[in-house]
């Protein structure tokens, strides 16, 4: 019997890479396990998982929303209703009763597109958000937004022929899924000097290159608010993108999972592509994705999400239903989470005061951490960082010493990968190198979440590591501490891209 080897596997799978849970994440788990020993010998006492937007992960510990968990508990164990009927808010009991009458036991399969009542509630949420009708038959509930993205790309791609335009930097789900289905990634670069804005000229250049290379562009991916950048599209840019899709017969894939993560909503509001497409009366095919994993819910492990079809024919929608049926149904716990996402407590509901207090507290913490981290990172020599108006991340740019770049090449690594590995080994902070998201040649970045509590201690560790890293690779840097955000740099004028 010959053993199974890599040569026996689907060659497309061998090309899949997913940096968010790649080498750094594996190394972080090894260090976390090593910390269990009293004689671990590590220069830190905890691993901080800043590599992934996983709010309720141990160490990040974002609180869950009480309303969601109470409804979920009653759905898991309906007899609990009798025990808590005089202790829990009446709207929680009513919601669980309504869902139980529709679903029955959550141990059973549901409709392959998701529970009809929940899809109806999603449609109502979209209509209220955008001001345009939504049909429950256009809604597919999914095991998180990622499952929906995978389904749509699988349907759209003809292997080795179909191209999909993806923003760079991008969430690596897209390149990984394209590799899995043998699609062709057509990168278009976002403009960092302009706050990671989306450039039509970059997209047009990518389209021209695809034509030259014999690749058929079929879809345009837009992540709004952005991941890893946090950028938020304005309506004029969105209209231009819709027009471009019309001109080139492109399907628009709108990843909108961070739509509730707005740090400056007065100046940087969120608008959905569904709304813009309807305002323009555009015929472009549009798939819009949302999730319970982000926002302030952070229920990543429940695997709940949905996508909406806009301007999609009945024949294509029937094909999507067939493909969804292969997986039987999305998880019922995730579907219940979606219902709580799109139907939160209203101002007159008994649960509303607590829900409002919990959500406001989380929004304020994310906003404060993002601002503080951006200010402190921008104060470091050789670092520049766009102050993200949305999402859960910052994506600082690094000007690394030539000796660090040379050492990374000697080790067969990208320079920002070397930086991230040393950061993990010396501080316990796990980030994702920018090479995992895509970047221009010669540039170096890393992504870190704004979810970490104890942000002062956390950022101080980042600062100290960065200065030590520069010194280790031959740069003379002095760092004089003062009050937070009051700092002075000495002898750094020789670092490219910095100011004294």
DSSP calls for 130-182: HSS---GGGEEEESHHHHHHHHHHHHHPPTTTEEEEEEES--THHHHHHHHTT
Rounded average pLDDT per 10-residue block, the chain, 500 residues:
75 64 78 83 85 82 93 96 94 96 94 96 97 96 93 90 91 84 91 92 94 93 93 96 96 96 93 97 97 91 95 94 91 96 96 96 92 91 91 91 91 91 91 86 90 85 91 68 36 34
Predicted pLDDT at 478: 56
Predicted pLDDT at 13: 65
Predicted pLDDT at 437: 85
Predicted pLDDT at 475: 72
- Could you count the other beta carbons within 10 Å of the beta carbon of residue 271? 18
What sections of 379-454 are H helices per DSSP? Answer: 402-410, 415-427
Predicted pLDDT at 88: 96
Q: How far apart are CA 395 and CA 167, in angstroms?
A: 14
Report residue 4 as tokens: 């199974």
Residue for token pair 């209203």:
346
Contacts of 104 (CB under 8 A, 6+ apart): none
Pick the CATH number of 109-342 from 3.40.47.10, 2.60.40.1930, 1.20.810.10, 3.40.640.10: 3.40.640.10
Whether residue 218 is preceded by a cis peptide bond, meaning omega within 30 degrees of 0, is no
3-class DSSP state of 283: coil
Beta-bridge mates of residue 306: 141, 290
Whether residue 169 is preceded by a cis peptide bond, meaning omega within 30 degrees of 0, is yes
- Could you count the other beta carbons within 10 Å of the beta carbon of residue 463? 18
Predicted pLDDT at 173: 83
Q: Please give the span between the terminal C-alpha atoms of the chain, in angstroms, as a whole number.
A: 67
Domains 6-57+363-490 and 109-342 equal at CATH topology level: no
Signed CA dihedral, 87, 88, 91, 96: sign only: negative
Q: Return the HEC string of 4-46.
A: CCHHHCCHHHHCCCCHHHCHHHHHHHHHHHHCCCCCCCCCCCC
CB 178 within 8 A of CB 185: yes
Q: How far apart are CA 484 and CA 326, in angstroms?
A: 55
CB 132 within 8 A of CB 275: yes
Pick the CATH number of 6-57+363-490 from 3.90.1150.10, 3.40.50.2300, 3.30.420.10, 3.30.70.890: 3.90.1150.10
DSSP 8-state secondary structure symbol assigned to residue 300: G
CB 434 within 8 A of CB 20: no
Q: How far apart are CA 442 and CA 437, in angstroms?
A: 14
CB 304 within 8 A of CB 331: yes
3-class DSSP state of 290: strand
Among 151, 55, 136, 149, CA closest to 339: 136
Give the CA-trace dihedral at 399, 403, 406, 412, to 10 degrees. Answer: -80
Predicted pLDDT at 242: 97
Give the CA-trace dihedral at 188, 192, 196, 202, to 10 degrees. Answer: -30
Q: How far apart are CA 338 and CA 334, in angstroms?
A: 6
Domain spans of the chain, in order of start: 6-57+363-490, 109-342
Going through 31-86 in order, the beta strands assigned E by DSSP cover: 48-49
**How does strand 305-310 pair with strand 139-142?**
antiparallel
Residue for token pair 């207090």:
357
CB 165 within 8 A of CB 206: yes
- Could you count the other beta carbons within 10 Å of the beta carbon of residue 250? 22
Work out the burial of residue 352: count CB atoms within 10 Å of its CB; fewer than 13 is exposed, 13-18 middle, 19 or more buried: middle
Predicted pLDDT at 59: 79
Predicted pLDDT at 436: 82
Predicted pLDDT at 426: 92
Predicted pLDDT at 54: 83
Please state whether the predicted TM-score (pTM) of the whole model is above 0.75: yes
Residue for token pair 């229920």:
299
Among 116, 174, 112, CA closest to 146: 174
């Amino acid at each position: 019997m010959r053993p199974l080897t890599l040569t026996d596997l689907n060659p497309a799978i061998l090309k899949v890479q997913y940096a968010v849970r790649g080498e750094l994440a594996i190394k972080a788990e090894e260090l976390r396990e090593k910390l269990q020993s009293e004689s671990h010998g590590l220069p830190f006492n905890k691993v901080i998982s800043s590599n992934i937007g996983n709010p309720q992960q141990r160490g990040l510990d974002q609180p869950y929303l009480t309303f969601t968990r109470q409804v979920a508990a009653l759905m898991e164990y309906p007899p609990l209703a009798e025990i808590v009927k005089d202790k829990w808010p009446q709207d929680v009991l009513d919601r669980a009763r309504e869902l139980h009458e529709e679903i029955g036991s959550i141990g059973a399969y549901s409709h392959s597109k998701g529970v009809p009542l929940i899809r109806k509630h999603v449609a109502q949420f979209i209509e209220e958000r955008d001001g345009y009708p939504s049909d429950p038959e256009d809604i597919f509930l999914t095991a998180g937004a990622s499952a929906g993205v995978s389904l749509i790309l699988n349907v759209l791609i003809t292997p080795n022929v179909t191209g999909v335009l993806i923003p760079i930097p991008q969430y690596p789900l897209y390149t990984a899924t394209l590799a899995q289905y043998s699609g062709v990634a057509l990168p278009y670069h976002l403009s960092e000097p302009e706050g990671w804005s989306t450039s039509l000229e970059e997209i047009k250049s990518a389209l021209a290159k695809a034509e030259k290379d014999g690749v058929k562009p079929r879809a345009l991916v837009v992540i709004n608010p952005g991941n890893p950048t946090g950028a938020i599209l304005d309506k004029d840019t969105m209209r231009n993108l819709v027009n471009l899709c019309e001109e080139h017969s492109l399907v628009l894939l709108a990843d909108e999972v961070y739509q509730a993560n707005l740090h400056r909503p007065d100046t940087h509001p969120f608008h959905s592509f569904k709304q813009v497409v309807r305002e323009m009366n555009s015929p472009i095919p549009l798939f819009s994705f949302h999730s319970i994993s982000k926002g302030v819910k952070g229920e990543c492990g429940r695997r709940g999400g949905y996508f909406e079809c806009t301007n999609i024919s009945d024949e294509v929608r029937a094909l999507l239903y067939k493909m969804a049926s292969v997986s039987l149904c999305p998880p019922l716990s995730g579907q219940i989470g979606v219902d709580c996402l799109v139907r939160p407590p209203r101002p007159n509901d008994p649960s509303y005061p607590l829900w409002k207090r919990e959500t406001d507290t989380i929004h304020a913490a994310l906003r404060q951490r993002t601002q503080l981290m951006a200010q402190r990172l921008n104060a470091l020599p050789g670092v520049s960082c766009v102050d993200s108006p949305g999402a859960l991340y910052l994506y600082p740019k690094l000007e690394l010493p030539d000796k660090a770049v040379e050492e990374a090449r000697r080790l067969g690594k990208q320079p920002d990968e070397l930086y991230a590995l040393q950061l993990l080994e010396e501080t316990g902070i796990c980030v994702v190198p920018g090479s995992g998201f895509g970047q221009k040649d010669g540039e170096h970045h890393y992504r870190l979440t704004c979810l970490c509590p104890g942000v002062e201690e956390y950022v101080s560790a980042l600062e100290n590591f960065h200065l030590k890293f520069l010194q280790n690779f031959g740069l003379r840097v002095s760092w004089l501490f003062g009050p937070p955000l009051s700092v002075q740099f000495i002898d750094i004028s020789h670092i490219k891209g910095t100011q004294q």
